[in-house]
Amino acid sequence: MNLKDFRQAGHWPTLLASFLYFDFSFMAWVTLGPLVVYITKELNIPVGEKFTLVAVPVLAGAILRVPMGLFCDLVGPRITGAIAQLIVIAGIAAAWQFGLHDVTQVEALGVVLGLAGASFAVALPAASRWYPPHYQGIVMGIAGAGNMGTVLDALIIPSLAETYGWQAAIGTLLIPLIPTLIAYLLMVKEAPGARRKVSWETYRTIFADKDSWWFMFFYFITFGGFVGLANSLPLYFTLQYHVSGVAAGLMSAIVVMFGSCFRPVGGLIADRIGGIRTLMALFAVVSLAYLAAAFLPAGPAPETAGTATVAGWSIAAMPAIAWGSVVCFSIGVLCLGMGNGAVFQLIPQRFKGEIGVMTGLVGCMGGVGGFFLAKTLGNSKEMTGGFTAGFLFFSALVLLGLVSLAGVRKRWRTTWGAASGARV
């Protein structure tokens, strides 16, 4: 990639602002993941409901991505993103000031945080519309790498909850969100050219196109796997390996860092060798990683738990099998993150005129995948006492995705792929 040509091809302040907006919005979206071990302990919530709590913002974010994508096409990503960010800030401020005292109130906050997760349907179209087809993979990868907010969450939030309490930790989200909103308003510029008017007929046409369903399915696997694990792993590590809340956050941060940092790499590789070939290789590795995770043995509990609010093994003292699980999940999540970039290298080639709508729909299905993964793992633990069945199911699902890609590969390359001007 020629860096000089890339800088001249689009509008880098919009790309940077999109990254920052998505980064800190994503951080807010997945906050309940590392906090749930503290919330559920104080509110005395059973195992099955613990995974439901972390799944609520994921599902809300999935549903809200559709109207967010629609509004982006109607009024533009600048106005849409600003309004959504203001609502999220108000909801977090209310939770911090008045507190959360039962499951229903926590779930209500989860719905508000879901709007932050819907920022995906704003950040990606804002950046994508500025750049030509041969840069879509890297552009969508950079804008989408804002899911590094997950890493910040897992690193910072558990320590804040341990020191100041989990409700105060929620309030600290305002520190990055308010300046980010200001930067977004100052830096984002609407791409030149008229926006295509969107109606329900547009949605009907897209739903009638089988390619849109394939993209939704593939993103259900890649983004669903990433965000589902990002929210579920803190709980998984505390239940499976008896680590402390802070240690679970650090372990999760290590894992999701790979998925976040390598999303642009997935887009860049897809630009060079084609999104289909990239996805097929990644799906094979992800399926094997889930299969390995299904048979990871549980770890022993420490003889002395300690005095922390959520006590257990520290990051330095935890057993070797816990580190083995970190390696296993890191490999899988790295490939899921790259897969996110590869999917969004392909979508602008096929649906350039409907990128806002498609981003909302595909992002919605990705969020549904995250909700489904978290619920499946929770049900597996509740019904069987372990996570094997849940991970086996997702291993098989990713394998189905690999077979499906092989089935559409020839048609895609000889139809819209041949006319796109980019490798598919």
Instruction: Give the pLDDT confidence of 228-272 residue by residue, as tens digits.
Output: 998 899 999 999 999 999 999 999 989 988 887 888 888 889 888
Tell me the domain boundaries of the chain.
10-188+210-419
pLDDT digits (tens, 9 = 90+) for 195-205: 566 667 777 88
Alpha-carbon distance of 390 to 18, in angstroms, equals 34
Q: What is the pLDDT of residues 362-421, one digit of tens each?
A: 888 988 999 899 989 989 998 999 999 999 999 999 999 999 999 999 999 888 877 776
Phi, psi of 236 (to 5 degrees): -55, -45
Q: Which fold has domain 10-188+210-419?
A: Growth Hormone; Chain: A; (1.20.1250)
Between 305 and 168, the more confident residue is 168
Over residues 279-292, the pLDDT tens digits come to 999 999 999 999 99
pLDDT at 149: 75
Closest Cα to residue 259, out of 324, 329, 325, 315?
A: 329
Residue 196 confidence (pLDDT):
61
Range with the largest mean pLDDT of 78-82, 221-225, 299-303, 307-311: 221-225
The tokens describing 321, both together, are 């099998």
193: left (phi over 0), alpha (psi -120 to 50) or beta: left
How confident is the prediction for the chain on average, in pLDDT?
86
Distance from C-alpha of 67 to C-alpha of 72, rounded to nearest angstrom: 9
Task: Describe the crossing of helices 12-29 and 120-128 by its angle, rounded to 10 degrees.
Answer: 170
| Residue 112: per-residue pLDDT | 93
Instruction: Judge if pTM exceeds 0.85.
Output: no
d(CA 144, CA 345): 11
pLDDT band at 130 (very low <50, low <70, confident <90, very high): confident
- The predicted pLDDT at position 206 comes to 87
Torsions phi, psi for 111 (to 5 deg): -65, -45
From 114, 422, 91, 89, select the one nearest 268 (Cα to Cα): 422
Q: Report the alpha-carbon distance of residue 275 to residue 222 in Å, rounded.
A: 13
Provide CB contacts within 8 A for 150, sequence distance 6+.
26, 27, 30, 33, 227, 230, 252, 253, 256, 259, 260
Q: What is the 3-state secondary structure (H, E, C) of the chain?
A: CCHHHHHHHCCHHHHHHHHHHHHHHHHHHCCHHHHHHHHHHHHCCCHHHHHHHHHHHHHHHHHHHHHHHHHHHHHCHHHHHHHHHHHHHHHHHHHHHHCCCCHHHHHHHHHHHHHHHCCHHHHHHHHHCCCCHHHHHHHHHHHHHHHHHHHHHHHHHHHHHHHHCHHHHHHCCHHHHHHHHHHHHHHCCCCCCCCCCCCHHHHHHHHHCHHHHHHHHHHHHHHHHHHHHHHHHHHHHHHHHCECHHHHHHHHHHHHHHHHHCHHHHHHHHHHHCHHHHHHHHHHHHHHHHHHHHCCCCCCCCCCCCCCCCCCECCCCCCHHHHHHHHHHHHHHHHHHHHHHHHHHHHHHHCHHHHHHHHHHHHHHHHHHHHHHHHHHHHHHHHHCCCHHHHHHHHHHHHHHHHHHHHHHHHHHHCHHHHCCCCC
Each residue of 88-97: b (16+ CB within 10 Å) or e? Answer: bbebbbebbe
Residue 194, pLDDT > 70, answer: no
Predicted confidence at residue 198, as pLDDT, reads 65
Tell me: pLDDT of 156 over 60: yes
Percent of the chain scored above 70 by pLDDT?
A: 93
Residue 255's CB is within 10 A of a number of other CB atoms, namely 28
pLDDT of the residue at 77: 83
φ/ψ of 328, rounded to 5, equals -60, -50
Instruction: Return the pLDDT at 201.
Output: 76
> Are 30 and 231 contacting, i.e. CB atoms less than 8 angstroms apart?
yes
For the ranges 125-134, 182-191, 270-279, 351-360, the one whose mean pLDDT is highest: 270-279
Taking 60 as the threshold, does the pLDDT of residue 72 lie above it? yes
